[in-house]
C-alpha cells in the first residue's frame, strides 16, 4: 500500500522533469537559431562589403 502514494508523488515529479527538459531544449534550439541567423547576417554583410569594394576598385581603375 505504501507504493501507491509514492507513485502519485513520483508521476508529477517525472512530468515536471519532462516539461523542464523540453523547455531547456526549446531555449537551446532558439539560441542555436539566433546564432545561425547572426552568422548568416555577418556572411551577407561581408559579401556586400566585398561587392562594394570590387565596384569601387573597378571605378577607380577606369578613372585612372
Please give the pLDDT value at position 63.
80
Compute mean pLDDT per 10 residues along the chain, 64 residues long, and list them. Answer: 58 92 98 98 98 97 84
Please give the pLDDT value at position 10.
77
Please give the pLDDT value at position 4.
52
Number of residues that make up the chain? 64
Cell of 33: 537559431
How far, in Å, are 43, 44, 46, 61 from residue 57 at the CA level? 21, 20, 16, 6
**How far apart (Å, rounded) are the C-alpha atoms in residues 11 and 8?**
6
Amino acid at each position: 500500500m505504501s507504493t501507491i502514494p509514492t507513485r502519485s508523488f513520483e508521476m508529477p515529479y517525472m512530468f515536471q522533469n519532462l516539461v523542464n527538459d523540453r523547455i531547456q531544449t526549446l531555449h537551446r534550439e532558439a539560441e542555436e537559431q539566433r546564432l545561425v541567423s547572426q552568422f548568416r547576417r555577418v556572411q551577407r554583410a561581408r559579401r556586400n562589403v566585398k561587392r562594394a569594394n570590387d565596384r569601387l576598385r573597378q571605378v577607380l581603375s577606369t578613372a585612372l
